[in-house]
Structure 1
Amino acid sequence: MEEKHEQMLKYANGPSLEEVNATVDVPKNAGFWRTLFAFSGPGALVAVGYMDPGNWITSIEGGSRFEYTLLSFILLSSLIAMLLQYMAAKLGIVTRMDLAQATRHHTGKKLGITLWVTTELAIMATDIAEIIGSAVALELLFHIPLLLGVIITVFDVMLLLLLQKLGFRKVEAIVVTLIAVILIVFAYEVLLSNPNWASVVKGYVPQTKVVTNGSMLTVALGIVGATVMPHNLYLHSAISQTRKIDYTNEEEVARAVRFAGIDSNIQLAGAFVINSLLLILGASMFFGHGDSLGRFVDLYNALSNDKIVGAIASPVLSVLFAIALLASGQNSTITGTLTGEVVMEGFLHLKMPLWLRRVVTRGLAVTPVIICVILYGGKESAVESLLLYSQVFLSIALPISMIPLTIYTSDKKLMGRFVNSKWVSVLSWVITIVLTLLNIRLVYETLATLF
């Protein structure tokens, strides 16, 4: 198997994320907690994608419009994410190729390019959420015009170049710190909002009305698209390879797969908590106040408006909200630019200077946002509508990455002893089929609304 994987790696034009591949040491013969600490980090970078500004707008809107009903979709999405991310990490560790490289290897150049275009569009949709979130936060905190804020986000990509010079563990530490800021802010605001906890628990129980109600289904699928991120499957399969592993020792590979799964599940559980807090905040503070409260600016203003949120209203809550929004946007910038590098090199075998690759990736995403801002005169409502539709697109793009991931991790010849068990393969196919059918309905209803 080792010889086969070496040949595949040569075909892939080198290791994934070569500048950080196998740069983090892990202890040998250490205890559980020390080993877990050494392997912890990639899961945090992946979890960032599950709590980016796109999640905010969909989760808070879901709460403000349908109260606690869509908590069941956050739970379902998180469980699906845990399964898929474990499979992605396992693929990267065992084959020493990321999902983009493996897909290109098995499909060839023409189909590989087509899949790259689709995946790049999904990354652009993700970047749109990050750009809008950061630009709105800059406007709220520093009164920077929206168009200028969008342009400033182009230079965020250089932040990652500086961070990587400090070492990949430093990047992971900064990401975890920003996640902690977001968690603390929303836990505090939710506690102040005094939600109906009995209704919260009930909200995690799936209800059939979600599928039969077109408006509710659209927001629900937006939550799925914002939570289960297709680009994260490519990212995780790449950054799971940042640890130094002796591939001649199969037991060491097995240890790496095990701890990568534990790290991923812990971090995604944290993302589940944050997404739940966002929806609960939307429901407890804004349910019954109209659909318009699903916008960042409206939420910022409402948090200091005692006519809406009552006695707890305070400018401090608004500022904390904007700070958390900026932290989320910056976190997502780091992971989004890394993913752009992974898919470009994996699908196209294209090498270019690191700074240029990241500027190109961000430039592709920032263009539609700038056009939207110019056309609508910097109106936040129009720009944030673009964000919501971008998250629905992510839900549509998800099966395109799920299908090859399931195929490859279920291939005994490719994965050896690490092949998916039968129940994992069956469950993965069921998830893919169900999401595809739901997304076909979403496309139909969206087109019916437009025309």
Structure 2
Amino acid sequence: MLKWFKNIGPGTLVAAAFIGPGTVTVCTLAGVGFGFTLLWAMMLSIVAAIILQEMSSRIGIVTRMGLAEVIKHQIKSPLLTKLAVILILSAIVVGNTAYEAGNISGASLGLEALFGAEYWSFYPLVIGISAIILLLLGNYKVLERILIVLVLIMSISFIGAAVLTKPDMFAVFKGIFSISFPGESILTIVALVGTTVVPYNLFLHASLVKEKWQSEKDLRASRIDTIVSIILGGLVSMSIIIAAAAIKTDTISSVLDLAKGLEPLYGSMAKYFLGIGLFAAGITSSVTAPLAAAYVADSCFNWKSKLTDWKFRMVWGGIIMVGIVLSSLKIKPIELIQFAQVANGILLPVVACFLVWVVNKKAVLKKYVNNKTQNIIAIAIVLIALLLGIKSILKVLALL
């Protein structure tokens, strides 16, 4: 146990990244709208996240390079290399911009619960400046510890809430192991996948493991860190769905509605605990999204930058500023967060295909390439993600 705590880090940071306000919002909407019936989608997402994140961390440890850099080096055609770089940069920038706006908006919902809606116009700026200050520290270990602590309150709150709602455990297990697609649920399913298996986390993980571990001997420690962290993160997400299923309303339009999921645990104080939790979760995700974009840009342009490098800071600073502007527009935060999660769900198959391709090249991973079982599971995950992405696009087009 002590050895595991010593090795804790990148996996927990990835879990902290996906347990953001988007997770709180989407899981709450899933619980309110569909009860326990979409728990299977979260279980699938947890398995997919473990498989894909483990592959990403393996690439980072063995090659000592970022995922984008490895992909770029493995494409021999100059034209295809440029196209791949453009695709990766576009996917991460677009996804992270939407995600960042959702993160900042979600954290702003937390401040609304604490201080009221009349100061809403200032909240995105407060969140953005807070994220900038954390990143300006330029110290990985300090940043890691702060982000882990920030999500702790929210995690405890929702797991406790799920337990105290005294759910029907037969119905819970049925929801986990019975695949179903209730009416109008496809976008919610894609959002659940998108909020857990976040494309930018695959790039972030490959880069972070280099900060923590130095050799291939650390692969086992990294694998344990990844599995335990993501399972714990998934447990929190499932707890949110279970707690939200107890909300006696058909519509969720404000933070006060979301707070009803915590009422069994905190009573009238629920909105304040949720406010603190959403704010903490929003800050962690507001930091990790631009950080991942900076790592991707670093890999694509061969900067070899550190956290304190000005080019590195220009990238994450730009992402945060765009997020502040978008979240300040008069768009309902709930809708913005949902859009961010759906966007990530659609981008996932593209990034996952690159990842599976690279992790099977012996020139890259030597004896640490995927085995047959890993490939079967990975390809199945890619196909499922692709199918869900296509269905969500068709659904969105039908709504236009």
Q: Does 1:135 align with 2:108?
A: yes
Kept after mapping to 1: 8 A contact 2:131/2:283: no
Secondary structure of 1:420 counterpart: coil
The CA distance in 2 between the partners of 1:168 and 1:323, in whole Å, is 24
Cα deviation per residue 1:271-299 (whole Å; 9 max; x = unaligned)? 0110011000110233xx21x22643422
The CA distance in 2 between the partners of 1:397 and 1:36, in whole Å, is 33
> Which residue does 1:332 correspond to in 2?
285
Q: Does 1:357 align with 2:307?
A: no
Q: Give 1:50's match in structure 2, choosing from 13, 18, 39.
A: 18
> Which residue does 1:185 correspond to in 2?
157
Secondary structure of 2:370 counterpart: coil
The CA distance in 2 between the partners of 1:59 and 1:327, in whole Å, is 17
Kept after mapping to 1: 8 A contact 2:99/2:341: yes
Gaps of 5+ in 2: 76-80
Change (3 A) 1:383 1:173: closer
Q: Does 1:69 align with 2:37?
A: yes
Offset at 1:303? 6.0
The CA distance in 2 between the partners of 1:284 and 1:161, in whole Å, is 38
Q: Does 1:403 align with 2:353?
A: yes
Q: Does 1:282 align with 2:244?
A: yes
Offset at 1:411? 0.8
Kept after mapping to 2: 8 A contact 1:196/1:284: no
Gaps of 5+ in 1: 1-32, 248-252, 377-381
The CA distance in 1 between the partners of 2:133 and 2:67, in whole Å, is 26
Q: Give 1:149's match in structure 2, choosing from 123, 131, 135.
A: 123
Q: Does 1:236 align with 2:205?
A: yes
Offset at 1:428? 1.0
Give the TM-score taking structure 2 as reference length.
0.91
Q: Give 1:103's match in structure 2, choosing from 48, 54, 71.
A: 71
The CA distance in 1 between the partners of 2:144 and 2:88, in whole Å, is 29
Kept after mapping to 1: 8 A contact 2:106/2:333: no
Offset at 1:214? 4.7
Secondary structure of 2:247 counterpart: helix
Cα deviation per residue 1:399-420 (whole Å; 9 max; x = unaligned)? 1111111111111121111111
Q: Give 1:262's match in structure 2, choosing from 224, 228, 236.
A: 224
Offset at 1:327? 1.1
The CA distance in 2 between the partners of 1:423 and 1:429, in whole Å, is 10
Q: Does 1:159 align with 2:117?
A: no
Secondary structure of 2:18 counterpart: coil
Structure 1 residue runs of 4+, over 6 Å off?
none
Offset at 1:170? 2.6
Q: Give 2:366's match in structure 1, choosing from 384, 407, 416.
A: 416
The CA distance in 2 between the partners of 1:313 and 1:176, in whole Å, is 23
Q: Does 1:273 align with 2:247?
A: no
Amino acid of the residue matched to residue 237 of structure 1? A
Q: Does 1:79 align with 2:54?
A: no
> Which residue does 1:25 correspond to in 2?
none
> Which residue does 1:30 correspond to in 2?
none
Kept after mapping to 1: 8 A contact 2:253/2:334: no
Offset at 1:241? 0.6
Change (3 A) 1:168 1:436: same
Amino acid of the residue matched to residue 382 of structure 2? T
> Which residue does 2:325 correspond to in 1?
367
Kept after mapping to 1: 8 A contact 2:114/2:271: no
The CA distance in 2 between the partners of 1:137 and 1:312, in whole Å, is 18
Q: Give 1:296's match in structure 2, choosing from 227, 241, 255.
A: 255
Offset at 1:131? 0.5
> Which residue does 1:12 correspond to in 2?
none
Offset at 1:237? 0.2
Amino acid of the residue matched to residue 348 of structure 1? F
Secondary structure of 2:36 counterpart: coil
Cα deviation per residue 1:166-209 (whole Å; 9 max; x = unaligned)? x42232222222232112111232333232222112211122x3
> Which residue does 1:88 correspond to in 2?
56
Judge which range, 76-85 or 361-370, deviates more: 361-370
Q: Give 2:188's match in structure 1, choosing from 191, 213, 219.
A: 219
Larger radius of gyration: 1
Amino acid of the residue matched to residue 38 of structure 2? L
Secondary structure of 1:135 counterpart: helix
Amino acid of the residue matched to residue 133 of structure 1? G
> Which residue does 2:78 correspond to in 1?
none
Cα deviation per residue 1:101-156 (whole Å; 9 max; x = unaligned)? 11222342343123211221111122122111111111221236222111222212
